[in-house]
Amino acid sequence: MAVTIPARLGKATRLGAGKSLKLTNTYGSQVVDTWAFIAANMNEFMSMEHSRAAIGGIFPHVGDMMVTNHREPILTLVEDTSPGIHDTLIAACDRYRYEHLGCVGYHDSCTDNLVAALCEFDLTPPETPSPWNMWMNIPIAADGSVSFEPPVSKPGDYVVLRAERDVVVAFSCCPQDILPINGTDCVPQKCYFEILD
């Protein structure tokens, strides 16, 4: 059954150990912030800083196993039809980010979306872990500088993630509409996921 992640909002699901989930970038232009928490202990979660050490790089490739803040395997990237440009460096957007960008009044954020998505399961994140930003294109120049660019994925691109433990996975269709990370038109779009048999 396909579950829609509405544009600008989040959605979570439980995923048992050994089960896989397919996340599809419907329009190809959308960044999806992705988190995973150990179901029995929300204080143990997928960690980008620990995963970069585990996989020996900043771009996860098919076959790479992401790890928790306790350095235990949590999610494996099993399939990826996109060019594999997913960010592991940039923090989730939040109210402060939008205030700095000049927004007045409330703006949806991935940080708020994580809280709302987990609330549906009566769960609370212990913090906002640095997300695995699916399809987010943050090129790194030779001098170490980074820039925020549109995704290079195409409509219908998907990733398949396998749970290595019983986890809760949360997604946010990033509501960033000031910088072009969700396409040059700066219009956030919906995506969807399916739990595979």
Interface with Zn ion (CB under 5 A): 93, 110, 174
Minimum distance from residue 190 beta carbon to Zn ion (Å): 14
Nearer to Zn ion, 165 or 188 (CB): 188
Minimum distance from residue 151 beta carbon to Zn ion (Å): 13
Least Cα distance to 129 among 82, 179, 167 occurs for 167
Minimum distance from residue 137 beta carbon to Zn ion (Å): 14
Least Cα distance to 168 among 4, 10, 59 occurs for 10
The DSSP code sequence of 38-93 is: ETTEEEEEB-HHHHHHHHTSSS--TT-EEEBTTS-EEEEEEEE-S----BSSSPPP
Nearer to Zn ion, 60 or 188 (CB): 188
CA atoms within 13 A on the CB side of 36: 31
Nearer to Zn ion, 38 or 118 (CB): 118
Nearer to Zn ion, 93 or 168 (CB): 93
Query: Which one-letter amino acid corresponds to residue 141?
Result: A
Minimum distance from residue 128 beta carbon to Zn ion (Å): 11
Name the region of 115 (left: φ>0; alpha: ψ -120 to 50; beta: rest).
alpha
